[in-house]
Amino acid sequence: MAKRGRPTGSPQRPRFWGRHAVYAALDNPARQVRKLWITREAASLIVMPDDVPTVYADVADLARLVPNDAPHQGLVCEVDPLDDVFLDELLGEDAPARPLLVLDQVTDPHNVGAILRSAAAFDAVGIVTQDRHSPPESGVVARAASGALEVVPWVRVVNLARALDEIAEAGYWRIGLTGAAKLTLGEALKGGGKTCLVLGAEGEGMRQNTEAHCDALARLPISDKAESLNVSNAAAIALYAVATR
């Protein structure tokens, strides 16, 4: 299995930028921060770490460290990807009320980061993605996650169908979200129990084999004025539905 957040064959250390992403990385004892670039102004706002090599830089220098002049807010850090998180670790959690998220070919790093943020907000057990069909840990993911990358377990698997089988064996009711479903999510959630939400990529949705490994298919009851929702928005709404059922 690949490192958490790093697909197989991706040896580069990611760089994170922005206050939330960098602060969260520095506060995470499981995260190895290799280097920190920071402006004097930004440094005056935090307790500087003693164990991280630090370079004081100006705004223009930091802009050259991030892609397309991303909003670094005076901080950039280089990190090691987090260690492996395995599916059986998540499934061993005694947390029947906490949902689990499975993402099928959701490759956009902004969406994955936003989903991680919602997963943290609604206390999800974690997210599961297929290694070769998901983005690596990156500054884009970390910024969109707003610190959640450091607190939400992210499991990467080789075979998503097999992972869904294991999730079912652990007692989860697997609900795949698709606009073509007859049931609404509220109807599919009746009865409570451990819930796994499965979401596919925007446009294409879940693959047929992924749908076949769900116990129920459900849709969000949106107006016909909108064809669909962004996958990260759909994930947030679905997590709220689980939390308030």
Residue at 7 is within a domain: no
Residue at 132 is within a domain: yes
Burial of 96 (0-12, 13-18, 19+ CB in 10 A): exposed
Kindly state whether residues 103 and 196 are assigned to the same domain: yes
Residue at 148 is within a domain: yes
Q: Compute and round to an integer the Cα radius of gyration of the chain.
A: 19
pLDDT in the model for residue 5: 46
Contact 77, 24 (CB under 8 A): no
pLDDT in the model for residue 7: 52
Point out the domain boundary residue: 46, 79, 112.
79
Q: For the domain that residue 105 is a member of, what is the CATH number?
A: 3.40.1280.10
Tally of structural domains, the chain:
2
Residue at 64 is within a domain: yes
Kindly state whether residues 123 and 155 are assigned to the same domain: yes
Is the alpha carbon torsion for 107, 98, 233, 74 positive or negative? Answer: negative
Q: What confidence category does residue 1 fall into, taking pLDDT thresholds of 50, 70 and 90?
A: very low
Kindly state whether residues 106 and 128 are assigned to the same domain: yes
What are the pLDDT digits (tens) for 137-150?
999 999 999 999 99
Residue at 1 is within a domain: no
What are the pLDDT digits (tens) for 72-96?
999 999 999 999 899 999 998 888 8
What are the pLDDT digits (tens) for 3-17?
444 555 455 799 999
What are the pLDDT digits (tens) for 150-203?
999 999 999 999 999 999 999 999 999 998 899 999 999 977 789 999 999 877
pLDDT in the model for residue 11: 55
Q: What confidence category does residue 109 fall into, taking pLDDT thresholds of 50, 70 and 90?
A: very high
Q: What is the pTM of this model?
A: 0.91
Residue 224 has pLDDT above 90, yes or no: no
Kindly state whether residues 100 and 74 are assigned to the same domain: no
Range of the domain at 97: 87-244
Residue at 10 is within a domain: no
What's the average model confidence in pLDDT over 198-221? 93
What are the pLDDT digits (tens) for 19-59?
999 999 999 999 999 999 999 999 988 888 889 999 999 99
Contact 134, 102 (CB under 8 A): no
